[in-house]
Protein backbone atom coordinates (compact mmCIF):
# COMPACT_ATOMS: atom_id res chain seq x y z
CA UNK A 1 0.00 0.00 0.00
CA UNK A 2 1.53 3.34 -1.05
CA UNK A 3 1.91 6.04 1.58
CA UNK A 4 -0.04 9.29 1.07
CA UNK A 5 2.05 12.22 -0.14
CA UNK A 6 1.25 14.22 2.99
CA UNK A 7 1.72 13.31 6.66
CA UNK A 8 -1.33 12.18 8.65
CA UNK A 9 -0.78 15.07 11.10
CA UNK A 10 1.23 18.23 10.55
CA UNK A 11 1.59 21.02 13.08
CA UNK A 12 3.09 24.33 11.99
CA UNK A 13 4.04 26.86 14.68
CA UNK A 14 0.99 26.01 16.79
CA UNK A 15 0.30 28.37 19.68
CA UNK A 16 -2.37 28.12 22.37
CA UNK A 17 -2.93 30.16 25.53
CA UNK A 18 -5.50 29.97 28.29
CA UNK A 19 -6.02 33.59 29.25
CA UNK A 20 -2.58 35.11 29.76
CA UNK A 21 -0.93 31.70 30.25
CA UNK A 22 0.82 30.31 27.13
CA UNK A 23 0.43 26.52 26.96
CA UNK A 24 1.71 25.76 23.44
CA UNK A 25 4.48 27.98 22.14
CA UNK A 26 5.19 27.13 18.53
CA UNK A 27 4.78 23.38 18.05
CA UNK A 28 6.17 21.98 14.79
CA UNK A 29 5.91 18.26 14.11
CA UNK A 30 4.78 15.64 11.62
CA UNK A 31 3.18 12.21 12.12
CA UNK A 32 3.31 9.78 9.20
CA UNK A 33 0.40 7.49 8.30
CA UNK A 34 0.71 4.19 10.15
CA UNK A 35 3.09 5.62 12.74
CA UNK A 36 2.92 5.26 16.52
CA UNK A 37 3.95 8.70 17.72
CA UNK A 38 4.60 9.02 21.46
CA UNK A 39 4.55 12.29 23.41
CA UNK A 40 6.17 12.43 26.85
CA UNK A 41 6.92 15.19 29.31
CA UNK A 42 6.05 16.55 32.75
CA UNK A 43 2.55 17.55 33.81
CA UNK A 44 1.64 20.99 32.50
CA UNK A 45 3.95 20.78 29.48
CA UNK A 46 1.06 21.09 26.99
CA UNK A 47 0.84 17.45 25.85
CA UNK A 48 -2.89 16.94 26.45
CA UNK A 49 -3.76 20.41 25.16
CA UNK A 50 -1.93 19.67 21.90
CA UNK A 51 -3.85 16.41 21.54
CA UNK A 52 -7.16 18.22 22.07
CA UNK A 53 -6.21 20.82 19.45
CA UNK A 54 -5.77 18.09 16.82
CA UNK A 55 -9.52 17.39 16.81
CA UNK A 56 -10.45 21.02 17.58
CA UNK A 57 -11.69 20.36 21.10
CA UNK A 58 -9.43 23.33 21.81
CA UNK A 59 -9.00 26.14 19.27
CA UNK A 60 -5.44 27.15 18.47
CA UNK A 61 -4.48 30.84 18.64
CA UNK A 62 -1.89 30.81 15.87
CA UNK A 63 -0.28 28.45 13.40
CA UNK A 64 -1.79 25.63 11.36
CA UNK A 65 -2.86 22.07 12.13
CA UNK A 66 -3.57 19.56 9.36
CA UNK A 67 -5.00 16.04 9.54
CA UNK A 68 -4.64 13.95 6.39
CA UNK A 69 -3.86 17.10 4.41
CA UNK A 70 -6.96 18.99 5.60
CA UNK A 71 -6.78 22.12 7.75
CA UNK A 72 -8.41 21.39 11.13
CA UNK A 73 -11.25 23.64 12.24
CA UNK A 74 -10.67 26.35 9.66
CA UNK A 75 -10.89 27.00 5.96
CA UNK A 76 -8.37 29.23 4.22
CA UNK A 77 -9.31 31.87 1.64
CA UNK A 78 -6.35 33.77 0.33
CA UNK A 79 -4.16 34.37 3.35
CA UNK A 80 -7.07 34.50 5.83
CA UNK A 81 -8.50 31.72 8.00
CA UNK A 82 -12.22 31.37 8.62
CA UNK A 83 -13.55 29.15 11.36
CA UNK A 84 -15.70 26.25 10.21
CA UNK A 85 -19.26 25.74 11.40
CA UNK A 86 -19.70 23.29 14.25
CA UNK A 87 -21.34 20.80 11.89
CA UNK A 88 -18.27 20.84 9.61
CA UNK A 89 -15.91 20.45 12.59
CA UNK A 90 -18.00 17.48 13.80
CA UNK A 91 -17.64 15.88 10.37
CA UNK A 92 -13.85 16.21 10.62
CA UNK A 93 -13.90 14.67 14.11
CA UNK A 94 -15.58 11.52 12.82
CA UNK A 95 -12.26 10.45 11.34
CA UNK A 96 -10.39 10.93 14.63
CA UNK A 97 -10.84 8.57 17.56
CA UNK A 98 -9.91 9.84 21.02
CA UNK A 99 -9.37 7.88 24.22
CA UNK A 100 -9.16 9.92 27.42
CA UNK A 101 -7.66 9.27 30.86
CA UNK A 102 -11.18 8.82 32.20
CA UNK A 103 -13.31 6.40 30.29
CA UNK A 104 -16.36 8.66 29.81
CA UNK A 105 -18.68 5.70 29.19
CA UNK A 106 -22.44 6.15 29.45
CA UNK A 107 -23.24 4.44 32.78
CA UNK A 108 -26.80 3.51 31.77
CA UNK A 109 -25.65 1.66 28.64
CA UNK A 110 -24.03 -1.76 28.31
CA UNK A 111 -20.58 -2.16 26.77
CA UNK A 112 -22.16 -3.02 23.42
CA UNK A 113 -24.58 -0.09 23.59
CA UNK A 114 -21.71 2.31 24.35
CA UNK A 115 -19.86 1.08 21.26
CA UNK A 116 -22.99 1.18 19.06
CA UNK A 117 -24.12 4.68 20.02
CA UNK A 118 -22.00 6.84 17.69
CA UNK A 119 -22.38 4.70 14.55
CA UNK A 120 -26.18 4.67 15.04
CA UNK A 121 -26.59 8.32 16.02
CA UNK A 122 -23.88 9.92 13.85
CA UNK A 123 -23.55 7.63 10.85
CA UNK A 124 -27.12 6.33 10.75
CA UNK A 125 -26.04 2.69 11.01
CA UNK A 126 -28.80 0.13 11.50
CA UNK A 127 -28.93 -1.16 15.06
CA UNK A 128 -28.54 -4.82 14.09
CA UNK A 129 -25.45 -4.06 12.02
CA UNK A 130 -24.05 -1.77 14.71
CA UNK A 131 -24.60 -4.48 17.33
CA UNK A 132 -22.74 -7.06 15.25
CA UNK A 133 -19.83 -4.65 14.74
CA UNK A 134 -19.80 -3.73 18.44
CA UNK A 135 -19.55 -7.40 19.38
CA UNK A 136 -16.66 -7.86 16.94
CA UNK A 137 -14.82 -4.81 18.29
CA UNK A 138 -15.34 -5.87 21.91
CA UNK A 139 -13.97 -9.30 21.00
CA UNK A 140 -10.98 -7.58 19.40
CA UNK A 141 -10.18 -5.83 22.72
CA UNK A 142 -10.67 -9.06 24.68
CA UNK A 143 -14.19 -8.43 26.00
CA UNK A 144 -16.31 -10.91 24.04
CA UNK A 145 -17.81 -12.14 27.32
CA UNK A 146 -18.64 -8.62 28.59
CA UNK A 147 -20.82 -7.18 25.83
CA UNK A 148 -23.93 -6.93 28.02
CA UNK A 149 -22.17 -5.69 31.16
CA UNK A 150 -22.69 -2.13 32.37
CA UNK A 151 -19.63 0.05 33.15
CA UNK A 152 -20.15 -0.35 36.90
CA UNK A 153 -19.73 -4.11 36.42
CA UNK A 154 -16.36 -3.68 34.70
CA UNK A 155 -12.87 -3.01 36.03
CA UNK A 156 -11.09 0.19 35.05
CA UNK A 157 -8.99 -1.67 32.49
CA UNK A 158 -12.09 -3.24 30.98
CA UNK A 159 -13.85 0.14 30.83
CA UNK A 160 -10.87 1.65 29.04
CA UNK A 161 -10.89 -1.20 26.52
CA UNK A 162 -14.61 -0.51 25.90
CA UNK A 163 -13.63 3.14 25.33
CA UNK A 164 -11.05 2.04 22.74
CA UNK A 165 -13.64 -0.18 21.00
CA UNK A 166 -16.07 2.77 21.01
CA UNK A 167 -13.49 4.99 19.29
CA UNK A 168 -12.75 2.27 16.71
CA UNK A 169 -16.45 1.91 15.90
CA UNK A 170 -16.28 5.09 13.82
CA UNK A 171 -13.48 3.65 11.63
CA UNK A 172 -11.06 6.47 12.40
CA UNK A 173 -7.97 7.15 10.31
CA UNK A 174 -6.20 8.50 13.41
CA UNK A 175 -6.36 7.52 17.10
CA UNK A 176 -5.42 9.92 19.90
CA UNK A 177 -4.63 8.49 23.34
CA UNK A 178 -4.39 10.93 26.26
CA UNK A 179 -2.57 9.04 29.02
CA UNK A 180 -4.98 6.11 28.64
CA UNK A 181 -3.47 4.12 31.53
CA UNK A 182 -2.88 6.88 34.09
CA UNK A 183 -6.20 6.33 35.91
CA UNK A 184 -5.74 2.56 36.14
CA UNK A 185 -4.46 0.36 38.93
CA UNK A 186 -0.96 -0.87 37.98
CA UNK A 187 -2.05 -4.48 37.42
CA UNK A 188 -4.63 -3.35 34.84
CA UNK A 189 -2.26 -1.25 32.73
CA UNK A 190 -0.92 -4.18 30.71
CA UNK A 191 -4.28 -5.25 29.29
CA UNK A 192 -4.86 -1.79 27.80
CA UNK A 193 -1.32 -1.54 26.42
CA UNK A 194 -1.76 -4.97 24.82
CA UNK A 195 -4.80 -3.69 22.90
CA UNK A 196 -2.79 -0.64 21.78
CA UNK A 197 0.05 -2.90 20.63
CA UNK A 198 -2.46 -4.83 18.53
CA UNK A 199 -3.69 -1.60 16.92
CA UNK A 200 -0.10 -0.63 16.13
CA UNK A 201 0.49 -4.02 14.50
CA UNK A 202 -2.64 -3.44 12.39
CA UNK A 203 -1.15 -0.18 11.07
CA UNK A 204 -3.35 2.31 12.93
CA UNK A 205 -1.89 5.83 13.07
CA UNK A 206 -1.66 6.67 16.77
CA UNK A 207 -0.54 9.66 18.82
CA UNK A 208 -0.02 8.54 22.40
CA UNK A 209 0.55 10.88 25.33
CA UNK A 210 1.97 8.51 27.90
CA UNK A 211 4.13 7.93 30.98
CA UNK A 212 4.62 4.28 29.96
CA UNK A 213 8.21 4.52 28.76
CA UNK A 214 8.45 0.78 28.15
CA UNK A 215 5.53 0.97 25.74
CA UNK A 216 7.06 4.00 23.98
CA UNK A 217 10.41 2.23 23.62
CA UNK A 218 8.92 -1.06 22.42
CA UNK A 219 6.01 0.07 20.21
CA UNK A 220 6.71 3.70 19.27
CA UNK A 221 8.13 4.77 15.91
CA UNK A 222 8.82 8.37 16.97
CA UNK A 223 8.92 10.20 20.30
CA UNK A 224 8.90 13.85 21.30
CA UNK A 225 9.72 15.23 24.72
CA UNK A 226 7.68 18.35 25.50
CA UNK A 227 8.28 20.85 28.25
CA UNK A 228 6.79 24.29 28.88
CA UNK A 229 4.81 24.25 25.62
CA UNK A 230 7.67 23.43 23.24
CA UNK A 231 9.18 20.31 21.70
CA UNK A 232 12.55 20.04 23.45
CA UNK A 233 13.82 16.84 21.81
CA UNK A 234 12.59 14.32 19.25
CA UNK A 235 13.74 11.14 17.57
CA UNK A 236 13.35 7.38 17.67
CA UNK A 237 12.08 6.37 21.12
CA UNK A 238 15.09 4.19 21.91
CA UNK A 239 17.51 6.96 20.97
CA UNK A 240 15.74 9.63 23.02
CA UNK A 241 15.11 7.39 26.05
CA UNK A 242 18.54 5.73 26.09
CA UNK A 243 20.68 8.72 25.07
CA UNK A 244 18.81 12.00 25.69
CA UNK A 245 20.84 14.95 24.45
CA UNK A 246 19.05 17.90 26.05
CA UNK A 247 19.68 18.54 29.78
CA UNK A 248 15.93 19.01 30.40
CA UNK A 249 15.16 15.63 28.82
CA UNK A 250 17.96 14.04 30.85
CA UNK A 251 16.59 15.50 34.09
CA UNK A 252 13.03 14.32 33.34
CA UNK A 253 14.02 10.79 32.32
CA UNK A 254 16.30 10.40 35.35
CA UNK A 255 13.15 10.69 37.49
CA UNK A 256 10.85 8.38 35.50
CA UNK A 257 13.10 5.59 34.20
DSSP 143: -
- Euclidean distance between CA atoms 257 and 244, whole angstroms: 12
**Total-model pTM:** 0.94
pLDDT at site 3: 55
Helix 186-201 to helix 156-168 angle (10° resolution) is 20
pLDDT at site 1: 47
- Euclidean distance between CA atoms 204 and 196, whole angstroms: 9
CA distances to 25, 70, 76, 93, 229 from 14, rounded to whole Å, are 7, 15, 16, 19, 10
- Euclidean distance between CA atoms 161 and 155, whole angstroms: 10
Tens-level pLDDT at each residue, the chain (257 residues): 455 578 999 999 999 999 999 999 999 999 999 999 999 999 999 999 999 999 999 999 999 999 999 999 998 888 888 899 988 988 889 899 999 998 899 999 999 999 999 999 988 999 999 999 999 999 999 999 999 999 999 999 999 999 999 999 999 999 999 999 999 999 999 999 999 999 999 999 999 999 999 999 999 999 999 999 999 999 999 999 999 999 999 999 999 88
Amino acid sequence: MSQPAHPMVRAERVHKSFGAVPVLRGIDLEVRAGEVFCVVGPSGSGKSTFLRCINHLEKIDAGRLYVDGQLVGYRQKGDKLYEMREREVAAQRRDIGMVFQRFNLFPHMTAAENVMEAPVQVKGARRAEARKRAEALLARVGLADRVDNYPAQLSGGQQQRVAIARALAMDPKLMLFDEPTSALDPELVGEVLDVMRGLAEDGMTMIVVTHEMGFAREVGDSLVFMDDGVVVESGHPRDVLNNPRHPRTQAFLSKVL
